[in-house]
Structure 1
Amino acid sequence: MSSNSCHLTWKSLQQYAQDTKKLELDLPHIEEHYNETLTFLTMRYGNLRGFMLFNLDQSREAEKSFRKVLEVDPSNLNAIGNLVVLYEEQFMYAKAREMHAKLKALLKEGGNNGEARQARATAEQAFAIQWFEQDKRDFGHLAYFEEAARRSEYALPEERLAWKFQCGLAVYRLYLQFLQAKATEENILFTRCKALAYFNDAIQVYEKHRPDNSRDAALCWVFIGIIVLDTEESERHDLFNSSQVAETTPKECFDTALSLSRTPYVVRRIGEQLGRPEMKEYARALEMLDEALEQNPRRCGWFCHDRKGIIYLQMFKHKTSLEGHSPDTMLQESLKNFRKAVQFKKTYTDFDCIGQIQLELGDYQSAIAAFRQAVNHGIDDRCDPGLTHRLWAKCLEELDEFEGAEEQHFTARIVEQKLAQSMPGQPIPGLDTLRPLSAFRQVEKPRNKQGYKYDFFVSYSSKDDDWVVGVLVKTLEEKHGFKGLVHDRDFQVGKSIIDNISYGIDQSFKTILVLSENFLRSNWCRYEMQQVHLRAMKGRGDHVIAILYKPCEVPDDIAHLTYLPCKTDGQLGPDGWRRLEDALTDSDER
């Protein structure tokens, strides 16, 4: 296989290449763009379409797609590279060598044209990653857009405008996540100013060169207006000074945007903002969303119905009056629009909102069904999963299902902690997160010789997650090769916590108790400890390992155990790790 860089070899796309179901769902949407006239800005859809078709075993159609890109841009590095890979996969070595020679010659060429080609290739990679990351909490595409923007001096003005706009959009989404996570003011201000600066840079490109993509310039004005609207009036002067953007108001920004472009993409964004409680222009907001919907129902259907659902729900919650609507009809209109939205695209947030409305209407079982659909679709960058589980718990409480409600409250705490850990910790573009449990999967086979599925089950408080996950589990699995069962990662969805705990203890050679005050205050940790104690009475007492992570009063149930003490800095030390490994490899049958 060739080592050239292209869609068919990028590691950043390999995880998506295997998901043929998603590729099949996404392909029709790509086809819409592909069937339009391809330009330097839109030929990315040709390469992305080819990538999808190639991984769906439709190589002939993939080849046509890459060839169509070359009709627009004969020196497109990605299209040529993709053809090299495609021909090699088909053992068509003569054609592969021909394409490879062409690629090699282009890569050797320096100067302005060479720099523009490299920037274009990088931007295409950003767009491809962005396609698969849309609605998610990921920002893998941002670094590529920033690299393309950095190298864009000799690219076409419309490309420079588009890439800077995409940088601003990604940083703006990052800023929203900082807000949701209640991050430090420093982080919030940094991302807010950086997004504003990117949008302003894009507008400067437009005003200097007047390229055809006025829509992107208009959207830059829209997002500048949004950021200003997000900022307290008393803080706006400092915001403009920090980002070197001329002072303006949200209304001025939106009016400027509409003067540049009244495409549905611009109209719908402004309609969304007018429907915010701060603006209170609900009637006009709904009119603009309907206007965008009428202009392009296919591409604006999900967005407009989703935002109309949000506006009606906000009006209900804020007890806002609107001519012709009672509180009940507002709820019904909101429900109707969210149901229409999920017909276009199924998202966590829309199902979650449907659940909230059903809860307000007292239809608890329908609400639970909607919340379940939400969590089954994976979180997006607008949702509050902790709240979802708490509302799910509220429904269960209304139905006298108190055991299930407790489990949902427990899940909410876990989700909220993991969500907090997933937020960026430094004011840099991209996510700088703690390593998630899913990132270090356990080994395939356990080391124990007694036939247990796992070498250890770890019982701990979620408040001690940093050390347990980041140090204990990571070291045992990655360094020593033990196979662990950890509730945040391995508990089975749909099975009760009690059943999951019993399964974890019964299927593990050893149970590790991580003792601390947090552990003792947790009802679930105490339940796990009681289960371990019961099994000890049945002859499995030697299967328990206690680690005193932080000083606490050891309960009588396990006071007889010899425990491994951590040092004051929360470390086991070399002797502690040796003793722990010895305990986990103990093969004596007792």
Structure 2
Amino acid sequence: MGSLNYCDGHQTIRRREYHGIMASGYDVIESFGCHLSWTELRPVVADRQTLSREEGILAREEWDFSDRPTYYTAIKNLQGFIAYHLNKHDQALGSFRDVLKNDENNINALGNLAFIHERLFEIDERNQYWDKLKRVLDRASYEERARAYADKAHAIRYFEQFKRCFRYMRFIERAATIGRKCDGPQRAEWFFDYALALYRRDVQMLYLRKLAKEADFAPEHSECYSDDKIREGFLKACRFFLDVARTSTSRDYQALSWVFLGILVNHDPKHRSIAMAFPDEPDLQHLTAGDCYERGLEIHPEHVIVLRRVGSEYVKLGRFSEAKFLLDKSLDMLTSQFGYRHRALMFLGMFEAADDEDRRTGQARQWLREAVKDLHKALEMKEFHADYSDLGYAYFLLGETDKALVKFERATNSEQDDYFDTVLTHQRWAQCLESKHQREGSLLQLEEARKVRGKILETPLEEDQSDFFSDDFDHYSTKEKPGFVRILQDYHFWAAYSRRRTSELNPPEALDTPHIRTRYRYDFFVFHAERDSRWTVAFVHKLESEHGLLGSIQRRDFEVGRDVSSEMIRCLRESYRFIIILTPRPPTVSLGWESFAINQAVMEGSRRGEEYMVPIKLRDCSVPDVLQTLTVRECEEGQLLKKHWNELVQKLTQGR
């Protein structure tokens, strides 16, 4: 019996050791995550039909690691993810190991392999991958981390490619941010993919703005697609595309970047130009959207995507003969759903551009027949509900209203909403019913169009802009810059730090005694967005621990249970100075408390009659109008110039 007890106790100790190792391992993996643990991919796991279909599609593709390293590893990791959830574990392991053969420090492949071996209780193998992953994450692995973020963006986008959804945006933006520190072909990949994401969002924001102008109510989320927000995204996308066009060694990326610069301008030609995007670039001032397309064609005249993209844009410009030449050529090289769809739209465009007399000719009806033929081919390749809508419209123009109605019904029976105008489809449906003298049905479809418009406008673009990444080193330098004061230290970037960071907010007891303070209880009150809490906590700690100052900050100094606004006003009044940390505001986050804090600080400063507010720009962003006249001290990768730091300490010290 004693022996049995000993054995049971020994096993209990071993289990505790095992779970301790598991916990530390998860700290490493969860600090970055992997396909098999990402919450964003969990909805896909149960849909075995989709997984099987995409497995077959990916199996037909070919990739070259030397040409597009990020795309290669992203596809391989995605294949492993799909195989694992189809219970093909050997195939999954093979995919992840193939990634490591080309990219031995690939963060996501290492995490995926560790995850699988953990599930299989193969502890030695799991530890092998965890240890390697920890070594990668413990250093400033810019290239590896940027590729991992781009990989995650690709995986999320892959399964949401027909949705007006941008949950992947923050990951590809992070890859592009880190990418500025890297060289090589992958840098262009990250920049191009981020610019492409901004382009895709631009399409949706312009669509929402169009619907908003048609609506008879003020949309609740209109700030998500305001003119300023649209302009900001347009300018940013243009800058990234131009960077790729000028720096990439790939003709593919160079050509496509010029093409997409033209497309961005052509999205809203009345209000956009290349000159607007690049006011400080004299050599670009004269360029039009058409010039950009021609540059792309000059760089890579035989690239199939360049051909069909430019062809589709020529359709919008009414340059039908040129469009047909390019679209025909692209389809001769490679049949594609996109190519057939846009050649069909070309035929429809030719019909709509004709006058009433020409529309009655046999030639015009032949254009419609060709559009029908191409849309059927497109649907055979991939079911895309916008194609059903356009097919219904082509049948309507041909007078084949019964066929048209069936296609309109099929088009609206879908959850697809990316590049698909459901409102227009219901309006076309109503027009078709009116031509059949179905007045009541036509009115019902117009009412449905109104309801759908309202529903779309009430639902903002799904874009997760939270900034709670465990490693912020891509915004903030991990090394002290000459002539600067470093705020974040090495330990701030460790995965475990996020669980104990508030310990830095405990000031030395001697500082919190009334006799060493002068008129004001606190030397400063600092306001910051929650996404900047890591940096701000370290900033407050440094001022208090190294300079004997005492600050007030919400997470430590607001009294529990009291109204937040009242506590904010109290700290503002009891503080010698007010510091506001400025960073870019995600579109889904309202100004809210920031506006309140600024307005209250303006009133407090006016009452005192002295320079009370101290703005610090942590990351590049616009400065609120009310702060424009003040001295704004700017950080560079999270660090302040020593001169500015010394000025700040002096400004915050009471009695000087």
Q: What displacement does 1:391 show?
A: 2.6
Give 3-state SS (helix, strand or coil) of 2:376's partner. helix
1:252 aligns with 2:279: no
Report the TM-score, using the length of structure 2 for normalisation: 0.59
* Cα distance between partner residues in 2 of 1:88 and 1:203: 44
* Cα distance between partner residues in 2 of 1:422 and 1:137: 10
Give 3-state SS (helix, strand or coil) of 1:33's partner. coil
Q: Describe how 1:528-567 pairs up with structure 2 within 5 A.
A: none
Partner of 1:187: 229
Give 3-state SS (helix, strand or coil) of 2:180's partner. helix
1:410 aligns with 2:442: no
Partner of 2:334: 296
Output one character per residue of 1:8-53: Cα deviation in whole Å (capped at 9) or x when no partner: 1111211222222222222222223356667523221100111111
The alignment yields a C-alpha RMSD, in angstroms, of 2.7
Q: Describe how 1:465-476 pairs up with structure 2 within 5 A.
A: none
1:351 aligns with 2:388: yes
Q: Describe how 1:271-310 pairs up with structure 2 within 5 A.
A: 271-276=311-316, 278=317, 280-297=318-335, 301-310=336-345
* Cα distance between partner residues in 2 of 1:371 and 1:19: 27
* Cα distance between partner residues in 2 of 1:249 and 1:399: 44
* Cα distance between partner residues in 1 of 2:270 and 2:449: 35
* Cα distance between partner residues in 1 of 2:415 and 2:102: 38
1:269 aligns with 2:309: yes
Q: What displacement does 1:388 show?
A: 1.4
Q: What displacement does 1:143 show?
A: 1.2
Output one character per residue of 1:209-238: Cα deviation in whole Å (capped at 9) or x when no partner: xx2x32122111001122233454785376
Aligned 8 A contact 2:77 2:96 in 1: yes
Aligned 8 A contact 1:305 1:337 in 2: yes
The aligned amino acid for 2:290 is K
* Cα distance between partner residues in 2 of 1:192 and 1:403: 43
Change (3 A) 1:59 1:268: same
Q: Describe how 1:324-339 pairs up with structure 2 within 5 A.
A: 326-339=363-376
Match 1:76 to one of 81, 106, 112? 106
Match 2:255 to one of 213, 218, 224? 218
Give 3-state SS (helix, strand or coil) of 1:189's partner. helix
Match 1:173 to one of 187, 190, 200? 200
Partner of 1:164: 191
Give 3-state SS (helix, strand or coil) of 1:138's partner. coil
Change (3 A) 1:81 1:69: same
Change (3 A) 1:37 1:164: closer
Change (3 A) 1:243 1:356: farther
Q: Identify the range of structure 1 (261-270 vs 247-256) with the bigger mean alpha-carbon deviation.
A: 247-256
Match 1:391 to one of 413, 428, 433? 428
Partner of 1:30: 58
Q: What displacement does 1:97 show?
A: 2.1
Aligned 8 A contact 1:225 1:250 in 2: yes
Give 3-state SS (helix, strand or coil) of 2:50's partner. helix
Aligned 8 A contact 1:305 1:341 in 2: yes
Output one character per residue of 1:157-193: Cα deviation in whole Å (capped at 9) or x when no partner: 3111111111111111222222222254333322222
Match 2:81 to one of 25, 40, 51? 51
Aligned 8 A contact 1:346 1:377 in 2: no
Aligned 8 A contact 1:84 1:96 in 2: yes
* Cα distance between partner residues in 2 of 1:275 and 1:413: 29
* Cα distance between partner residues in 1 of 2:297 and 2:443: 50
Q: Identify the range of structure 1 (57-66 vs 380-389) with the bigger mean alpha-carbon deviation.
A: 380-389
1:16 aligns with 2:48: no
The aligned amino acid for 2:44 is Y
* Cα distance between partner residues in 2 of 1:8 and 1:62: 11
Q: What displacement does 1:412 show?
A: 1.8
Give 3-state SS (helix, strand or coil) of 1:43's partner. helix
Report the TM-score, using the length of structure 1 for normalisation: 0.65
Give 3-state SS (helix, strand or coil) of 1:195's partner. helix
* Cα distance between partner residues in 1 of 2:280 and 2:263: 15
1:127 aligns with 2:154: yes
Aligned length: 414
Q: Describe how 1:437-476 pairs up with structure 2 within 5 A.
A: none
Change (3 A) 1:161 1:331: same
Q: Which runs of 5+ in 2 are unaligned?
A: 1-21, 211-224, 466-656
Aligned 8 A contact 2:196 2:237 in 1: yes
* Cα distance between partner residues in 2 of 1:180 and 1:233: 15
Q: What displacement does 1:398 show?
A: 4.7
Q: Which runs of 5+ in 1 are unaligned?
A: 433-590
Give 3-state SS (helix, strand or coil) of 1:217's partner. helix
Give 3-state SS (helix, strand or coil) of 1:326's partner. helix
% identity of equivalent residues: 29
Change (3 A) 1:274 1:72: same
* Cα distance between partner residues in 1 of 2:395 and 2:280: 44
Greater relative contact order structure (CA < 8 Å, 6+ sep): 2
Aligned 8 A contact 1:33 1:45 in 2: no
Partner of 1:511: none
Q: What displacement does 1:127 show?
A: 1.2
* Cα distance between partner residues in 2 of 1:361 and 1:91: 65
* Cα distance between partner residues in 1 of 2:241 and 2:132: 37
Give 3-state SS (helix, strand or coil) of 1:133's partner. coil
The aligned amino acid for 1:288 is L
* Cα distance between partner residues in 1 of 2:333 and 2:227: 40
* Cα distance between partner residues in 1 of 2:149 and 2:181: 14
